[in-house]
Amino acid sequence: MARPIDPRREEFRLEILAEATRVFAQIGYRNATTEDIARKVKLKKSSLYHYFSSKESLLYQALSLNLLRSLEPLEAVQHQGGSPVERLRAAVALQVRHMMNAPYVANLFLTERASLQRQHLKHCLALRERHEQVLRELVDEGVAAGLLRPVDSNFAVKLIFGALNGLPWWWQADGRYDLDQTAALFAELLVSRMLAQAAPRGAARAKPAARRATRAAPRKLGPR
């Protein structure tokens, strides 16, 4: 039985967005219908339009909300104290955790953003660009401080996000590394290994915390 419009409007809007995201991810945006989504949240199709004007509006609001939720903690890390290298490591780890806590949306941004109206796509790309800008500024700060290799920060950040974008396709919660270990490994490999200045010859290197963490309790590795 279809339920009446929920008086807790914002909470219910978020529930609709979550269900719509799952439907889009499971059967594809083009194959999904508003009837499919309405059925998931026990609404009539006509009642769904009290919350969202169209299927495209659902996709846009799901993507933009996810990008905003990802950007806010990233900007907070950028402006906190400490070494730019440690802040860059923390930023990469944050992106890993956020991406895998919302893998449906992460996949949709890659596969379905061409379905957005021009102005909606422009807004989402601007939010994504702000993510890259935060990381570029951290890389540039690290280079200026002599802590990172003298690299083109734009190229480095494209490599970082290229690695991050592949995560939803292969990471599995019951695999060898849990999410925290995976985040630590990404930060170690992409920042401390790929970008950090080489230690002076003969200098002692501390054992990375990420390596200790991932060796502590290996998890099984199996097919998805």
∠ at Cα 208 (203, 210), nearest 5°?
165
pLDDT at 199: 53
Exposure of 40 in the CB half-sphere (CA atoms within 13 A): 19
Identify the bridge partners of residue 196 per DSSP, sorted by sequence position. 148
Q: How many CB atoms lie within 10 A of CB 62?
A: 27
Residue type, 216: A
- Alpha-carbon distance 37 to 39, whole Å? 5
Q: What are the structural domains, with CATH classification, of the chain?
A: 1-52 (1.10.10.60), 63-199+206-216 (1.10.357.10)
**pLDDT at position 110, please?**
84
> Given this model, what pLDDT does residue 3 score?
53
- At 7 the pLDDT is 52
Rg (CA), the chain: 20
**CB-CB contact of 210 with 190 (8 Å):** no
Residues 6+ apart with CB under 8 A from 47: 2, 4, 5, 38
Distance of alpha carbon 120 from alpha carbon 135, whole angstroms:
24
Q: Please give the Cα distance from 118 to 72 (Å, whole number).
A: 24
Check residue 168 and give its pLDDT.
Answer: 84
The whole-model pTM stands at: 0.80
CA atoms within 13 A on the CB side of 134: 25
Q: Which two tokens stand for residue 121?
A: 């796509």
| CB contact at 8 A, 38 and 47 | yes
Residue 195, SS3 per DSSP = coil
The residue among 101, 63, 84, 111 whose CA lies nearest residue 183 is: 101
Distance, in Å, from the CA atom of 152 to the CA atom of 23, rounded to the nearest integer, reads 39
Which amino acid is present at 65? L
Low-confidence ranges of the chain (pLDDT < 50): 1, 6, 200-224
**What token pair was written down for 175?**
């695999």
